[in-house]
A = this chain, B = another copy of it.
């Protein structure tokens, strides 16, 4: 079968690979709509290690074409929403109370579609433990919105959950790319009061306001930290980092009150380092909690996110402002994501198999 991915570091393209084999609990799926992600382009440049003939892509809505003999809840023909993170739920680590399920056998090991086997930019892809990891697409949720739950919304909302946002609190969200925008929307939907979001791209700024940001902070107008401290009259309750690099953590430490929380959903570069003076963490005494983690997976979470859409609490399809039609357009969509033109928020590729 055909697939698009990383042939070698900094070299992406189409490749021919065997169709994945369906294990007893697996499903084989063909994509109906996919979205490239900055994790894909990051990986293609070797950001998380060298890749050799790996099909990329981990955001998909698709059609089940085959299921293993132990699968109970799905059958060929079902249209399913596919979490980007698909844990092996029988791993013992998964049984730790309160733990993020993203680390089944170890760090990020639940991210099967980028790490364990080939991704969704293919004619067919495999999902493990289908009953636990797939969700039937609800009739009253569009394919675009459904596609935006599997990583963008799940990751952005995880930032809100880690930050433990409480009613009426003041929150800073660093970054208003698609994940940051979902963090803004999730922060508003969780009951925050004032929401500062940092960014400068006009499309993203407009959408950030629509999703609930009350103040947009543009680095072109001066130091971001100083702007927020001045506008807010002091430090804030929570900071969510959805963009930037390791130095953003230093800014976050400047912004958050004693007893506050910093939640990072940013992917830092393998060559980057955190470096901040002890006094920014109150010499260790500030009770500022620092959290950071990967998008949780599984069907239950995606069902809950789909419930939000079905009940009209949020419309994540607004992220999708670059649209492509046809399997072969995955290449164009990938390039757009890699080059990030200034008006891009998030691309989608519709795949019509008929």
* Chain A interface residues (CB < 8 Å from chain B): 24-25, 48, 70, 89-103, 106-108, 129, 131-132, 157, 161, 166-170, 186, 188-195, 214, 246, 258-259, 264-270, 272-279, 281-294, 298-301, 303-308, 310-311, 313
Contacts and interface: CB of A to CB of B under 8 A. Distances in A.
A2 to B, nearest CB: 30
Nearest to A310: B193
A102 B303 contact: no
A264 B282 CA distance: 12
B305 A283 contact: no
Contacts of A100: 258-259, 287
A268 B266 CA distance: 27
Nearest to A108: B285
B279 A284 contact: no
A275 B278 contact: no
Contacts of A157: 167
A287 B293 contact: yes
A101 to B, nearest CB: 7
- Of listed A169, A188, A273, residue having the most chain B CB within 10 A: A273
Contacts of A95: 89, 101, 132, 298-301
Nearest to A42: B283
Nearest to A268: B278
A267 B292 contact: no
Nearest to A277: B273
15 contacts: A24-B70, A95-B101, A95-B301, A97-B166, A167-B189, A190-B190, A190-B191, A194-B311, A270-B283, A273-B278, A274-B275, A274-B276, A286-B292, A289-B290, A290-B290
A110 to B, nearest CB: 10
A292 to B, nearest CB: 4
- Of listed A188, A195, A286, residue having the most chain B CB within 10 A: A286
A291 B289 CA distance: 5
Given A132-B91, A186-B167, A258-B107, A281 B274 contact: yes
A288 B161 CA distance: 15
Nearest to A212: B313
A162 to B, nearest CB: 8
Contacts of A90: 25, 89-90, 129, 131-132
A150 to B, nearest CB: 14
Contacts of A279: 270
Given A95-B101, A294-B287, A308 B270 contact: no
A264 B289 CA distance: 11
A287 B288 CA distance: 16
Nearest to A263: B289
Contacts of A103: 258-259, 286-287
A168 to B, nearest CB: 3
Given A95-B299, A168-B306, A299-B95, A278 B285 contact: no
Nearest to A274: B276
A311 B184 CA distance: 14
B283 A268 contact: yes
Contacts of A311: 193-195, 214
Given A24-B24, A298-B95, A267 B285 contact: yes
